[in-house]
Structure 1
């Protein structure tokens, strides 16, 4: 009886050892938390004012399906960001680690297309600066680690005007106002052309009037071949007079 009890105790201890050992290994080894430290390095290596495009659903609207709704587009966003760097860049290697993590997460989540389709009107497109972007990546990875998600998420009502349409309307209005400013400046520049022509015409008239007044004050300067020289008898008359004198002398 003593031997059987001792064996039972040994088996119980071994079973508890294996159970506690497995659970301790799960809690001690946390690759997501270890890799999150790389985000701080990426934030320092990428300029603060660099704008990174992101397509996402807010946490308030996504609810328990927030991870499923954002895993695909966040993966695509990180892929595009990784391609901005060279093949041997450390930034590209660090970003590729997160891309691989998101790929594995997406496979474990199963098909995410149906829930993405249900929340289609709630997606937003923005361009975030480096700090905000990597804060979003960090929050997403921590939420994915906790896995407080659900397979049945009811999307909230779609907004009357989608965020994308509002953004496009704003950009269109901004472009229109810029175009109006350009047209106004062009019209103002065109107004200077007739104004310059008018000034040139006035100057020309003033100069013409002054030249006319100078000619009236000095009329002799213009008639160089007038005066007493103009009353001289013609050459034929002189010859005829000489002939007459010769005839008289002969007689």
Structure 2
């Protein structure tokens, strides 16, 4: 046991920055999560709109910064933030502010993971299974198509779409562009819902998020998913035909 302790201490010392960062992220996530809810937005909507009207540019910068931090620390609540962006800044330019905040936060995760854990986790992903393995293989085959696809498909968690490319040979510029453009359809839907929150709050109601599954909304998104996956499907078909 005594012979093992020095090795353990060396291991902890080697990863002490990562361990401290993990503890910090968990603490911040737990603290901030309680402040982000529809009830709090309804209760403080007058204060928020008054501050926005009196300090528009400051409100924009603060909102983007908050969105960036929430995404960077993977704090649950991105949906409420997207609705808040629409509530405060309307559909346009609110959708742009939402996309900037989400992209900056995603890029922060991408860079932190690449600098801190990239080499070790890249080897782990080679032997992984399930959804992570399929994303990894897809990115290896066609980076642009897969990067857009994992942003468009609703079933892929946002944090997973941020992490997996960081462990592969994906340039930062490509990651940023695919993230910003890939999240546009979903961001537009939720920002537009948020733009109508004022009337919903006045009636004492809660926004109906099930609207995203309406055919006129979900079908175009699925069409974009198919378009993004088309190069991968074509490559698969050609491979089977021996072309």
Q: TM-score, normalised by structure 2?
A: 0.28
User: For the pair shown, which has the larger CA radius of gyration, 1 or 2?
Assistant: 1
TM (norm. structure 1) is 0.27
Structure with a larger share of its residues in helix: 2
